[in-house]
Amino acid sequence: MSLPEQQSLESAYVMGTFARKPVEFASGRGMTLVDAEGREYLDFLSGIGCDCLGHCPPALVGALDAQAGRLIHVSNYFYIEHRGEVARHLSDLLSRYAPEGEDGPWKTFFTNSGAESNECALKLARLHARRRAQAEGGPDVPAPYHVVTVDASFHGRTMMTLAATAQAKFHVDFAPMPDGFLDVPRNDVAALEALFAAHGPEICAVMLECVQGESGVHPLTPEFLAAARRLTREHGALLICDEVQCGIFRTGRPFGFQHFGIVPDVVSMAKGIAGGFPAGACAARAEVADLFAPGDHGTTFGGSCLAVAAAQAVLDELDAGGYEQRVAEVGAYLRERLAALPRVHDVRGLGLMVGCDLAEDAPSAPEVVSAALERGFVLNATGPRTLRFLPPLICERAHVDALVEALAAIV
């Protein structure tokens, strides 16, 4: 079906929640997407960071094909292959780089998306606070329930995760939002300390992204993260790291927090965990995870036969394929090449999670995205003057060179 026909159908029958670009992708392989007319594009967005091994990687396609021929779905009432193996692998990855005594084990609840992973983390934080309050003061003692988040964060589109997202523009049309969230400026240690001084007994968790994604790729500082870890421990609260975008080797390590010398209590993840197949996970240290009892939380499709088969194939490939070094090296090269472009400044990020801003005399970021698409490059703008780059983790220097040559001509 042609692009105009698809546009007509979607206009009539699909909710208009996305301003789609005028291209219809029909196939892909590796770093390359192919549209319905056969034109090729280099992909520097990878399904918003989901297609971590590129498009249609053989290991993932093979795993899905084999699993679909055996069993697709039976629900979480039963044991299935791969689920335990993936949970163990995640525990090992989460414990990598952790100091002795903080190296696990971790237990995982499987979900379908990043928002669902964050919902699980928030429920677990409130349950932890309630159990702690009951143990210290009895069943009628009120439990702390406030969660501290960081300005310009993004945690999802459900009502609860939207409330956790500290960006007022997302709240205006859906008010009143669920309460229980307090926000602080990014990397402001003094403000975080003041918030705990004023509200410490009311706080059950701090939820943050070590590298904020949707606002344009902004790493938090080691000092801010260390303060968050210290203050949560002092007040008996949990530290939740939202690794939905910066996790699964995106930053050059299995998880973003592993660059900063901290170990959280709860970690949410999704996007790259199954290479583009819908999947997510919420992992917690065993002593926290064990607070959940049967019936406290659930999901119909989370951890399905297909999802965990896909996740096992992807995690095995990433962990065995030298991706930590590869992502770190190519990501550094991408930042170096972008920083050398005229009218490009404040290049930032970790690994292959990179953002930059455009000068006022340059075309706007959406204009650059449109011009790049015409030249055969898939890019992303997160603001009027901000570009974000999330290429597949198979990206090579030659792909970066091609991108920078195109951007030089556009910018």
Tell me which fold the domain 71-320 belongs to: Aspartate Aminotransferase; domain 2 (3.40.640)
- Backbone phi, then psi, for 54, in 5-degree steps? 85, -170
pLDDT in tens, the chain (411 residues): 899 999 999 999 999 999 999 999 999 999 999 999 999 999 999 999 999 999 999 999 999 999 999 999 999 999 999 999 999 999 999 999 999 989 889 999 999 999 999 999 999 999 999 999 999 888 888 999 999 999 999 999 999 999 999 999 999 999 999 999 999 999 999 999 999 999 999 999 999 999 999 999 999 999 999 999 999 999 999 999 999 999 999 999 999 999 999 999 999 999 999 999 999 999 999 999 999 999 999 999 999 999 999 999 999 999 999 999 999 999 999 999 999 999 999 999 999 999 999 999 999 999 999 999 999 999 999 999 999 999 999 999 999 999 999 999 999
Provide the 3-class DSSP secondary structure of residue 401. Answer: helix
pLDDT for residue 70: 98
pLDDT for residue 139: 84
Q: How many CA atoms lie within 13 A of 100 on its CB side?
A: 0
Tell me which fold the domain 3-57+325-410 belongs to: Aspartate Aminotransferase, domain 1 (3.90.1150)
Q: Which two tokens stand for residue 54?
A: 């590129």
* Cα–Cα distance list, 153 to 163, 168, 176 (Å): 11, 11, 19
pLDDT for residue 140: 85
Q: Which two tokens stand for residue 158?
A: 């459900």
Question: CB-based contacts of 297: which residues, under 8 Å, 6+ apart?
Answer: 109, 120, 123, 124
- 155-180 in b/e burial notation, b at 16+ Cβ within 10 A? bbebebbbbbbbbeeeeeeeeebeeb
Which ranges in 183-321 belong to alpha helices (H)?
A: 189-199, 222-234, 286-289, 305-320
Provide the 3-class DSSP secondary structure of residue 19. Answer: coil
Give this prediction's pTM.
0.97
Q: Where are the domains of the chain?
A: 3-57+325-410, 71-320
Question: CB-based contacts of 341: which residues, under 8 Å, 6+ apart?
Answer: 404, 407, 408, 411
pLDDT for residue 1: 86
